[in-house]
Structure 1
Amino acid sequence: MEKRDYARFAVELPVSLSGSGVAGGGLVSGLSARGCTVVSDELIQAGTTLALHIQLPGQYAPLKVDLAEVRWAQGREFGLEFVRLRLEEKARLQRFISALLRKAQGGGFQHAS
């Protein structure tokens, strides 16, 4: 089993996906500073590149990931690595991850396996 360098958190965040002939939505079920796990009705193959809009709680504008690559896919679930994120979006993601980490340390959030 591969050890992760970044904490991954169990979440339920709406996401829209687009790219390579794919347009659809799903739910982010695991999130880290480097990537996420998505559950979707779309059948996505490993190696596919996508743009993502992730709806963070309490924020009007979605988090925009300009480019993410599917690293693995199993049925309706797939793992993405964030390849290109604008600096301001990376900062927003880091603030959200930091808030999740604070909540996890206080017992309010679960780390995803």
Structure 2
Amino acid sequence: MLTRRRRGKDKAGLDLRDHQRYEVSLAVAYSGDQVVGRGLVLNISHGGCGIKAETTLPIGTFLELHIEAPSLHTPLHIDLAVVRWSLGKHFGLDFLQVHPDQETRLRRVLKSL
């Protein structure tokens, strides 16, 4: 199970994230209680990602994700993520639940970047 991490930057502009982020351009399909959409993952880490989507999502929205990566034959499945920030059609997610086999696949994708 993934653990909570610090987010954002401190007053001096230093990054407080516990996981390195990688700039990417990966297709993503997401769904939640009352939302289904597609977008583009712009950055990703072990603990979350940033997405540019076709819809605006409010903070606190819970989503399931399917991320397509060139190194994978089938999409990476994130069981549960939550929107932590939202600005227009851009939003940032924390991964809350990732099945162990999918977590291994995520690590493999990150290692290849």
Deviation at 1:20, TM superposition (A): 2.0
Worse-superposed segment, 57-66 or 31-40: 57-66
Q: Give the counterpart of 1:11 among 14, 21, 24.
A: 24
Identity of aligned residues (%): 40
Query: How far apart are residue 58 of structure 1 and its match?
Result: 3.2
CA deviation profile, 1:22-77 (whole Å, cap 9, x unmatched):
00100000000000000001110000000000001132210000100000000000
* 1:1-113 matched pairs, under 5 angstroms: 1-2=9-10, 3-100=16-113
What SS does the aligned partner of 1:43 have? coil
Read off the aligned partner of 1:8 and give its amino acid letter: R
Question: What TM-score does the superposition give when structure 1 sets the normalisation length?
Answer: 0.85
RMSD of aligned Cα (Å): 0.9
Report the alpha carbon displacement of residue 96 of structure 1 after superposing the two structures with TM.
1.1
In 2, the alpha carbon distance for the partners of 1:59 and 1:5 equals 25
Aligned partners of 2:71 and 2:109 also within 8 Å: no
Indicate if the aligned counterparts of 2:68 and 2:76 stay in contact, CA closer than 8 A. yes
More helix by share: 1
